[in-house]
């Protein structure tokens, strides 16, 4: 859709009046904006929010083509059953970002690319690999380059905090992590042998 010139104050006022419209007026407004009738099962609150969103899209522009493409990829993966929420929702660094780190009087610059990272004209899939090459020891790449703590840990849980099935190993077996460590010594109250 072509973007129309809009006064932000006017748009905000129009959006503010949406909750005052009755259901037939909301449905008519939906049809004007989306070009098709509103789904019958949409509740009033959802209609108001969707109409407000579409008004903002027309006024200011919508999602970028890269964002739309990423959302289509996520939807396709979810349909195919290959969606890994922790991968899709993990923090991402925008391609083109330069990470700069000084180590032992040498400045190291890493360029974030679409499929990983570039350092000294070579591509790597992990910041930790680059950090190890720079320092000679194992580092968490996120920590080494000063990015908000370390990469997120999900501790075997999905994004809702529920336990998730671990991936199968090379032999096809699934090994569930133990929730408690096995005791190495006799528990209290048991005599030593």
Distance CA 142, CA 129 (A): 11
CB 185 within 8 A of CB 179: no
In tens digits, the chain (193 residues) has pLDDT values of 455 667 888 889 999 999 999 999 999 999 999 999 999 999 999 999 999 999 999 888 888 888 888 888 888 888 887 766 655 555 577 888 999 999 999 999 999 988 889 999 999 988 999 999 999 999 888 889 888 644 455 566 655 556 667 777 788 887 776 655 555 555 545 555 4
For residue 66, tell me if it sits in a domain: no
In a domain, 123, yes or no: yes
pLDDT at 122: 94
Size of the chain in residues: 193
pLDDT confidence of residue 50: 94
Number of domains observed in the structure of the chain:
2
Does any domain span residue 172?
A: no
Sheet of 106-113: strands edge to edge?
A: 98-103, 106-113, 116-119, 122-124
pLDDT computed for residue 193 by the predictor: 47
* Distance, C-alpha 32 to centroid of its chain: 32
User: Which pLDDT score is estimated for 23?
Assistant: 93
DSSP strand pairing (122-124 vs 106-113): unpaired
The count of C-alpha atoms lying within 13 angstroms of the C-alpha of 39, restricted to the half-sphere facing its C-beta, is 6
**Integer Cα distance of 66 and 129 in angstroms:** 27
Its domain, for residue 116, covers 98-144
Q: What's the rounded Cα separation, in Å, for the pair 143 and 151? A: 8
Asked if residue 73 is part of any domain, the answer here is: no
């Amino acid at each position: 859709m072509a973007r129309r010139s809009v006064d932000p104050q006017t748009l905000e006022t129009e959006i503010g009046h949406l909750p005052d419209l009755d259901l037939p007026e909301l449905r008519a407004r939906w049809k004007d904006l989306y070009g098709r009738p509103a789904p019958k099962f949409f509740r009033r609150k959802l209609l108001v929010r969707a109409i407000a969103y579409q008004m903002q899209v027309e006024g200011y522009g919508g999602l970028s083509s890269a964002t739309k493409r990423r959302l289509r990829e996520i939807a396709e993966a979810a349909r195919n059953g290959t969606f890994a929420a922790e991968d899709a929702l993990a923090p991402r660094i925008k391609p083109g970002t330069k990470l700069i780190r000084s180590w032992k009087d040498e400045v190291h610059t890493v360029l974030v690319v679409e499929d990983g990272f570039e350092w000294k004209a070579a591509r790597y899939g992990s910041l930790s690999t680059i950090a190890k090459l720079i320092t000679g020891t194992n580092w968490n790449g996120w920590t080494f380059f000063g990015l908000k703590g370390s990469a997120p840990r999900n501790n075997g849980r999905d994004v809702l905090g529920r336990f998730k099935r671990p991936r199968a190993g090379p032999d096809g077996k699934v090994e569930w992590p133990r929730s408690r460590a096995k005791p190495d010594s006799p528990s209290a109250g048991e005599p030593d042998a």
